[in-house]
A and B are shown apart, each in its own frame.
Chain A
Amino acid sequence: SQQGEEDPQALSIQEGENATMNCSYKTSINNLQWYRQNSGRGLVHLILIRSNEREKHSGRLRVTLDTSKKSSSLLITASWAADTASYFCATVGDYKLSFGAGTTVTVRA
């Protein structure tokens, strides 16, 4: 079974708005990563947060991690049309990298 589950499954926002998506997971982790996938392509790494970190920023991205609730959130601020993509959280435990089903984000111009 998959480790992570993203919520919502799909999100539609206007350019300039913020997009927030959540990820819940089941077992203990070493770190949690977020990836983006543009239609029909491979995944691109966005940001990694370690299990002993609570928040991390990278440009317009903000990630939080709550290990007590086994959950993480990804915030994209001031979204552009180019942010239209699917976003996946991935958990790392031992050697295994496990993904959720993803959140599809559509940014309307």
Chain B
Amino acid sequence: DVKVTQSSRYLVKRTGEKVFLECVQDMDHENMFWYRQDPGLGLRLIYFSYDVKMKEKGDIPEGYSVSREKKERFSLILESASTNQTSMYLCASGTGSVRTEAFFGQGTRLTVV
């Protein structure tokens, strides 16, 4: 079974904390993505990476950074968490140029209090 695993299903953090969301895939995919999902807004792309140490901004990168030191792992970092970053975060991976299906993790529901 192919797998994309996110480190936490639920997370509660305090305002101002530095938050790390981890995503690991076991399919040797080149591309990895981080999205946030909010009611009525669908999935919005935060950052993506098409190779190790490469990263590209998505549509809403402000307040986030990412790290991809190894091919299988893509980390999303909230430098200083704020309440408006309370959301569902979804990680996905796909083959080069996403010419086939992408696979998603189960999601991390982050609450910032």
Counting residue pairs across A and B whose Cβ atoms lie within 8 Å, the total is 73
For the complex, what is the distance from the CA of A48 to the CA of B33, rounded to whole Å?
18
For the complex, what is the distance from the CA of A88 to the CA of B92, rounded to whole Å?
14
User: Contact: A92 with B104, CB < 8 Å?
Assistant: no
If A41-B107, A42-B107 touch, whether A97 touches B101 (CB-CB below 8 Å) is no
User: Contact: A2 with B42, CB < 8 Å?
Assistant: yes
Name the contact of A95 in the complex, choosing from B41, B92, B98, B105 (C-beta under 8 A): B98
User: Contact: A97 with B33, CB < 8 Å?
Assistant: yes
User: Contact: A42 with B104, CB < 8 Å?
Assistant: yes
For the complex, what is the distance from the CA of A45 to the CA of B102, rounded to whole Å?
7
For the complex, what is the distance from the CA of A97 to the CA of B59, rounded to whole Å?
11
User: Contact: A88 with B97, CB < 8 Å?
Assistant: no
For the complex, what is the distance from the CA of A72 to the CA of B74, rounded to whole Å?
31
Q: Which of A60-109 contact B (CB under 8 A)?
A: 88, 90, 92, 94-102
Name the contact of A101 in the complex, choosing from B40, B56, B98, B101 (C-beta under 8 A): B40
Does A52 belong to the interface (CB within 8 Å)? no
Task: Give the A-binding residues of B (Cβ under 8 A).
Answer: 4, 31, 33, 35, 40-45, 48, 50, 56, 58-59, 88, 90, 92, 94, 96-107, 109
Task: Give the B-binding residues of A (Cβ under 8 A).
Answer: 1-2, 30-31, 33, 35, 40-45, 48, 88, 90, 92, 94-102
